[in-house]
Amino acid sequence: MKSIYTILFLFLSFIFSALSQEKMKFPKIDLAQDSTAEKQECGHNHFNLGSHSSGISFGNSKYHNGIRFNYRDCDVKHVNGLNFTLWQGYEQTLKDFTINGISLGTIPVGGTMNGITFGFAGAIAMRNMTGINFGGLALVSPGGNITGINISGLGIVSPGGSITGINFGGLALVSPGGNITGLNFGGLAVVSAGGSITGVNVSLLALVSPDGNITGLNFGGLAVVSPGGDIKGINIAGLALVSPGGSITGINFGGLAVVSPGGDIKGINISGLAIVSPTGNITGVNATLGVLNSPNGITGVNLAGYKIEAKKITGLNIAPVWIETESITGLTVTGYCKVKGTQTGVSIALVNNAEFLNGLQIGLLNIARQNSGLNILPFVNLHLGL
C-alpha cells in the first residue's frame, strides 16, 4: 500500500511540475495541426521505477516498455504497454512514434498506434491507427489508415488513407483519399471522396462516393450517391439513388427516384416517382408510381403508375396511363399504347396505335397502320408476320 502512495505522489508531483513549467497555460484542445510543432524543442526528462527503459515511467521518456505517464508527448519514438498522456502531443514531432498496447488520454497522439486507443476528446495517428479505437469527438489519421473497431462521438476522418472494420461516427465517416470498408455507420454521412464504400453502409442522410463505387447493403436516409462509380447490392435511399457516372445494380429502392445518368439500372428497382436511365438501359423488375424512362431499352417486368417510355421495351409492361416506344415486345397493359415502330405480342389498351403490328391488339380502338384497308378496328386487330 505504501508503494502505491509513493507512485501516486510522484505522479502528482510530476503533473504539477509540468503545469508550472507551462505557466498554467493550457494548450488548446483541437484536432487541427499544431502550428508550433515544427519549432518545438523537446526535452526528455523523466523518472523511471524499474530497469532502464522498462517498468513505470513518469515524464517524456523517448522509449519505454511498461506503464508510462506523461503530461504532453514530444519527440517520443516507441512505447510498448500503457501510454497515458494528459494533453495533446506535438503532432509534427510524433510521426515516428509507435505505440503498441493502450493509448489513453485527452487526445492521444502517435505516428502508428496499435492496440487500444481511448481519447476522451479524440485521438490522432499521424500514420496508422489499428485496433479498438475510441474518440469522444473524433478519430483522425492524417496520413494513414484507421483499422479495427472504430467509434467516435462526432467523426472518423482519414484524409490520406482508408477506414476499415466496424466504424461508427456520430456525425460522419470521411475518407477523402481512400476506401471505407466494413460495417460503416455515419449519423449524417459516410463519404469516401477518393475511393469506394464497401460493406454494410448506413447513414441517416447520405452515402457519397464521388470517385468510387458503393457496394454492399447501402442505406442512406436521404440519398445514396456515387457520381464517379457504380452502386451495387441492396441499395435503399429515402429520397434517391443516384449514379451519374456509373450503373446501379441489385435490389434498388429510392423513395422518390432511382437515377443513373451515365449507366444502366439492373435488378429489382423500386421508386416512388421515377426510375430513369438517360443514357443506359433499365433491366429487371422495375416498379414506380410515376415514370419509367430510358432513351435506350427497358427489359423485364415493368410497372409504372403513369408512363413507360423507351426506344425499345421488352417483357411484361403495365402502365395505367401511357406507354410510348419505337419497338415493344411481350404483353402490354395500358391506357394508351403508342408504338412508332413495331409492336410484337399482345397489347391490351383503351387505344392501341402501332405503325407495324406483329401480334394482337385488344381495346376500344386498335390501329395497325401497315394493314391495308382495315387498319383501324374496334375491339380487336390482328396481324401476324411483317
- Say if residues 353 and 338 touch (Cβ distance below 8 Å): yes
C-alpha cell read off for 359? 401480334
Q: What integer pLDDT is reported at residue 349 of this predicted model?
A: 97
C-alpha gyration radius of the chain = 32
d(CA 28, CA 13): 23
Task: Give the C-alpha separation, 100 to 83, whole Å.
Answer: 9
Tens of pLDDT, residues 243-275: 988 899 999 999 999 999 889 999 999 999 999
Least reliable range by pLDDT among 138-142, 196-200, 371-375: 371-375
Contact yes or no for 237/220 (Cβ under 8 A): yes
Residues 239, 224 contacting (CB under 8 angstroms): no
Cα–Cα dist 241/243, whole Å: 7
Does pLDDT of 329 surpass 50?
A: yes
- The CB density around residue 52, as the number of other CB atoms within 10 Å, is 9
Helix (H) or strand (E) holding 191: strand 189-191
Q: What is the pLDDT of residues 201-239, one digit of tens each?
A: 999 999 999 888 999 999 999 999 998 889 999 999 999
pLDDT of residue 245: 83
Distance between CA atoms of residues 168 and 85, nearest Å: 24
For residue range 53-90, list pLDDT tens digits in order: 899 999 999 999 999 999 999 999 999 999 999 999 99
pLDDT score recorded for residue 386: 57
> Which stretch of 19-33, 78-92, 160-174, 358-372 has the lowest confidence by average pLDDT?
19-33
Contacts of residue 184, Cβ cutoff 8 Å, sequence gap at least 6: 163, 167, 173, 190, 197, 199, 200, 201, 202
| Average pLDDT over the chain, rounded to an integer | 88
Q: Does 197 have pLDDT greater than 70?
A: yes
Least confident of 3-7, 336-340, 356-360: 3-7
Provide the 10 A C-beta neighbour count for residue 322: 17
- Which residue type does 162 have? S
